[in-house]
């Protein structure tokens, strides 16, 4: 599918899919959305410990890079697993402006390392951040009791309805440890009900700018 780099309302870039008229992030602000949904509503529940995170859709690496930056503030050691079946190409990564927009120029090498590292190998990105990128489909995830936190960042249900179903959330539930948490930008009633039907306790939280609500599900 054709992919184009565009700039969102907060100045940060994202990838646009003309065929679907869909983006990797909110048009209202990619960084703003990532910070609100995944950091404020997810990562910030944890501090001063070692945690494992599963990302559903590694894509541009924005969530893993922001998590690396925030983990230092929260005194966390992070074991991060990013799943991605259709990797972003090196020439696309070069055009993403996350490092400068996040004023993280000292960590440019870290962002690049996240993208250049081999698939299926756990790598030390820094002494407090370990990354494993797995090139696989979401329905092939069969981890059990392994993660404290899931960033569920698939394309919208309008485009990939098969990813917002009971069968996928059952895999997510199984992959989480007891009391593990899944956060997503979606607030659809059908998504909430699919999560509840596999056993999650689901909260509706205020959404990022441009979106009234989002969901947080706890095992």
Ligand X SMILES: C[S@@+](CC[C@H](N)C(=O)[O-])C[C@H]1O[C@@H](n2cnc3c(N)ncnc32)[C@H](O)[C@@H]1O
Q: Which residues bind ligand X (CB under 6 A)?
A: 24, 57-60, 62-63, 83-86, 137-138, 153-155, 160
Q: Among residues 84 and 101, whose Cβ is nearest to ligand X?
A: 84
Per-residue three-class SS string for 92-145: HHCCCCHHHHCCCHHHHHHHHHHHHCCECCCEEEECCEEEEEECCCHHHCCCCC
Residue number with the shortest CB distance to ligand X?
Answer: 59
d(CA 218, CA 203): 8
Closer of 59 and 207 to ligand X (Cβ): 59
Minimum CB–partner distance for residue 62 and ligand X (Å): 4
**Residue number with CB closer to ligand X (26 or 148):** 26
Closer residue to ligand X (CB): 119 or 178: 119
Residue 4 is inside which H or E element, if any?
strand 4-7
State the nearest-atom distance from the C-beta of 59 to ligand X, in Å. Answer: 2
Asked if 81 and 172 count as a contact pair (C-beta separation under 8 A), the reply is: no
Task: Compute the distance between CA of residue 133 and CA of residue 121 in angstroms, rounded to an integer.
Answer: 7
Q: Are 62 and 30 in contact (CB under 8 A)?
A: yes
Rounded to 5 degrees, φ, ψ at 128 are -120, 15
Q: Which is nearer to ligand X, 60 or 148 (by Cβ)?
A: 60
Q: What is the smallest separation between the CB atom of 178 and ligand X, expressed in angstroms?
A: 25
| Residue 35 CB, nearest approach to ligand X (Å) | 12
Q: What are the φ and ψ backbone dihedral angles of 194, each rounded to 5 degrees?
A: -65, -40
Give the nearest distance from C-beta 10 to ligand X in angstroms.
14
């Amino acid at each position: 599918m054709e992919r184009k780099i565009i700039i969102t309302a907060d100045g940060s870039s994202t990838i646009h899919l003309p065929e679907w008229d869909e983006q990797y992030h909110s048009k209202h602000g990619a960084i703003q959305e990532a910070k609100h949904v995944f950091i404020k509503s997810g990562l910030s529940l944890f501090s001063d410990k070692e945690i494992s995170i599963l990302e559903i859709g590694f894509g541009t690496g924005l969530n893993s890079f922001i998590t690396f930056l925030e983990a230092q503030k929260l005194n966390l050691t992070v074991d991060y697993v990013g799943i991605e079946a259709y990797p972003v190409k090196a020439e696309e990564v070069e055009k993403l402006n996350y490092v400068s927009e996040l004023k993280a120029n000292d960590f440019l090498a870290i962002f690049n390392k996240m993208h250049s590292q081999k698939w299926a190998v756990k790598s030390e990105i820094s002494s407090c951040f370990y990354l494993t990128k797995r090139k696989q489909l979401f329905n092939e995830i069969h981890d059990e009791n392994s993660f404290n936190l899931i960033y569920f960042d698939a394309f919208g249900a309008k485009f990939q309805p098969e990813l917002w179903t009971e069968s996928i959330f059952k895999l997510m539930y199984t992959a989480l440890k007891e009391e593990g948490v899944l956060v997503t930008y979606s607030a659809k009633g059908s998504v909430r009900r699919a999560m509840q039907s596999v056993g999650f306790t689901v909260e509706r939280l205020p959404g990022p700018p441009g979106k009234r609500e989002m969901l947080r599900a706890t095992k």
